[in-house]
Structure 1
Amino acid sequence: MTPHNSAFKGDFAPYVLFPGDPARSLHVARNFMENARQVTGIRGMTGYTGTWKGVPVSVMSGGMGGPSAGIYAYELYTEYGVEAIIRIGTSGGLQKNVEPGDIVFALTASTDSAWARQYRLEGNYSPSVTYSLLERAVGIARKHGFPFHAGMVFSSDLFSSYNALGEDSWKTWARMGALVQDMETYALYSTAAWTGRKALSILTMTDSCVTGASLSDGERMIGLEPMIRTALDCVSDSAGTMVDA
């Protein structure tokens, strides 16, 4: 066990789905996984392990923000031997062509966070996705006909609506090509790189900063299903191929 995780070694599958919201972790366990059992729940960050199409898989919430996600991801990688983490998160849209409910695959992440300072790099670090996971996930989205985009995301320490610089502060990141804004992808990708493990961030755009369109509370869980199914099928397609890059 760790200070933030009450699971025992062997409780987590090699692949872990990683929402921020504990309610989404429970939703995945109850509605998608077979034989799911809870393995942790410290600080309300619930984790479950079961199977999807006969393949072992876990889901664990990582909280809100890069520091929280980074702590849980680091412990999953280093203490529990997890090979790959697939983030299943929500995001705010920064481009007009990204519609509510669309999937966004994060190729890389930019940030306003100080997260990478811990690595003492002489420059600005841009972490990126594990390509083998991305390739599988894109193929799955195409197969199912799920609308998707792939590109840079902006992981911020600030929620755009509460930014003291104003609600339009996102526009400069949109001009530089960021598709959506979340809070956790940068920390996850950096942690995966540091620990030599795999990561993929799949985001559903739920609220557009550009048009104001959004998924309602009633639509939100249903609207997240394409992202969840893509992540789970990525796990089942990856079974037996964990040694690739």
Structure 2
Amino acid sequence: MTAAAERPALLPITKIPSSGLPAYALVVGDPARAGLVAKHLDGAEQIGSNREYVTYSGTWRGVPVVVSSHGVGGPGAVCLFGELAEAGVTTIIRLGTAGAMARGIGDGDLIVAEAAVRDDGVTQQLVPAEFPAASTPEVVLALQAAAREHSAPYHRGNVWTRAAFLPGVLELPMVPYQRAGVLAIEMELSALLVFAALNGLRAGGALVIDGIAADDLVDESGNSGYDPHRQVVADGVERAATVALDAVWRLAQDDAAAQA
């Protein structure tokens, strides 16, 4: 048998191997961020690249892990989640960015998401409106513990996943969601959480604040602070990468103990 015949086939959308992936994955929006996170891994190598989907594998503190990008928006992200699951991943943590919707949340702070408002543009076609988008409790607790260990400023609560990045002529329900205590807005997490629930996976989200989303939080100069390329955001993402990877390590230790 040739070496080519021994290698697993590639999945059609992401071009990752169709089997044999580690159980744990971090997913990010930006392909460049996937590369930056992969630099934290021992033995990192690129194992797939197609469209917005760039995937690496390696180890963190001895735990095999995948880092993969899903691009912008829920529908395309679900394509990645599906192929990761098909290839062997059972736990997925989204490491992304978000806009703040509550006072007291600073640029670079981390949001540990407990659940997400399902305004993602894709799960409405998968499950009834009443179906929740909730993080797996073990993932939430692992992220929280890792954030505390690294002294990362974090906030734990609900986020709003919205399909449209820019507003149109329709008025956004920003104020009602603020009154309900929603902490931040982003674009993919609820799609992950619903996909995970439908497929027996564990999932959660660690989101770095890259600006202000709510008008009532804007300062007197009218500056929302949205610029994802600022150093405070880069520092927050770097810190969050370590937090998320250590959360994976914690989950792996618990899994190993449960199987012992």
Deviation at 1:76, TM superposition (A): 1.0
CA distance in structure 2 between the partners assigned to 1:95 and 1:176 by the alignment: 10
Whether 2:25 is the aligned partner of 1:16: answer: yes
Give the one of 228, 231, 235 matched to 1:222.
235
Runs of 4+ deviating beyond 6 Å? none
Query: Which is higher, the Rg of structure 1 or of structure 2?
Result: 2
Distance 1:181 1:218, change over 3 A: closer
Provide the secondary structure at the position in 2 that maps to 1:202. strand
Deviation at 1:175, TM superposition (A): 2.1
Deviation at 1:21, TM superposition (A): 0.5
- Per the alignment, residue 221 of structure 2 pairs with none
Whether 2:187 is the aligned partner of 1:183: answer: yes
* Structure 1 stretches lacking a partner, 5+ long: none
Q: Deviations over 1:112-133 (max 9, x none)?
A: 2443333453x52221011111
Give the one of 66, 85, 96 matched to 2:92.
85
Contact 1:101–1:215 under 8 Å retained in 2: no
CA distance in structure 2 between the partners assigned to 1:239 and 1:108 by the alignment: 22
Distance 1:216 1:81, change over 3 A: closer
- Per the alignment, residue 16 of structure 2 pairs with 7
CA distance in structure 1 between the partners assigned to 2:108 and 2:21 by the alignment: 29
Which structure has the higher relative contact order (CA within 8 Å, separation 6+)?
Answer: 1
CA distance in structure 1 between the partners assigned to 2:104 and 2:34 by the alignment: 29
Q: How does 1:43-122 map to 2 (within 5 A)?
A: 43-77=51-85, 79-121=86-128
Deviation at 1:172, TM superposition (A): 3.0
Whether 2:43 is the aligned partner of 1:35: answer: yes
Provide the secondary structure at the position in 2 that maps to 1:151. strand
Give the one of 230, 234, 239 matched to 2:252.
239
Provide the secondary structure at the position in 1 that maps to 2:21. coil
Q: Deviations over 1:99-121 (max 9, x none)?
A: 11110011111032443333453
CA distance in structure 1 between the partners assigned to 2:229 and 2:126 by the alignment: 39
Relative to the length of structure 1, the TM-score reads 0.90
CA distance in structure 2 between the partners assigned to 1:17 and 1:216 by the alignment: 20
Deviation at 1:50, TM superposition (A): 0.5
- Per the alignment, residue 3 of structure 2 pairs with none
Distance 1:36 1:167, change over 3 A: farther
Contact 1:83–1:242 under 8 Å retained in 2: no
Provide the secondary structure at the position in 2 that maps to 1:178. coil
Contact 2:93–2:205 under 8 Å retained in 1: yes
Give the one of 225, 228, 235 matched to 1:213.
225
Contact 2:11–2:18 under 8 Å retained in 1: no
Q: How does 1:138-149 map to 2 (within 5 A)?
A: 138-149=144-155
Percent identical: 31
Provide the secondary structure at the position in 2 that maps to 1:56. strand
Contact 1:215–1:223 under 8 Å retained in 2: no
Provide the secondary structure at the position in 2 that maps to 1:242. helix
Q: Deviations over 1:140-161 (max 9, x none)?
A: 11122111111110000111xx
Provide the secondary structure at the position in 1 that maps to 2:164. coil
Provide the secondary structure at the position in 2 that maps to 1:76. helix
Relative to the length of structure 2, the TM-score reads 0.85
CA distance in structure 1 between the partners assigned to 2:73 and 2:175 by the alignment: 21
Deviation at 1:7, TM superposition (A): 1.8
Provide the secondary structure at the position in 1 that maps to 2:145. helix
Greater mean deviation of Cα atoms: 54-63 or 123-132: 123-132
Distance 1:114 1:46, change over 3 A: closer
Give the one of 195, 205, 210 matched to 1:201.
205
Give the one of 151, 164, 168 matched to 1:158.
164
CA distance in structure 2 between the partners assigned to 1:196 and 1:36 by the alignment: 27
CA distance in structure 2 between the partners assigned to 1:118 and 1:215 by the alignment: 32
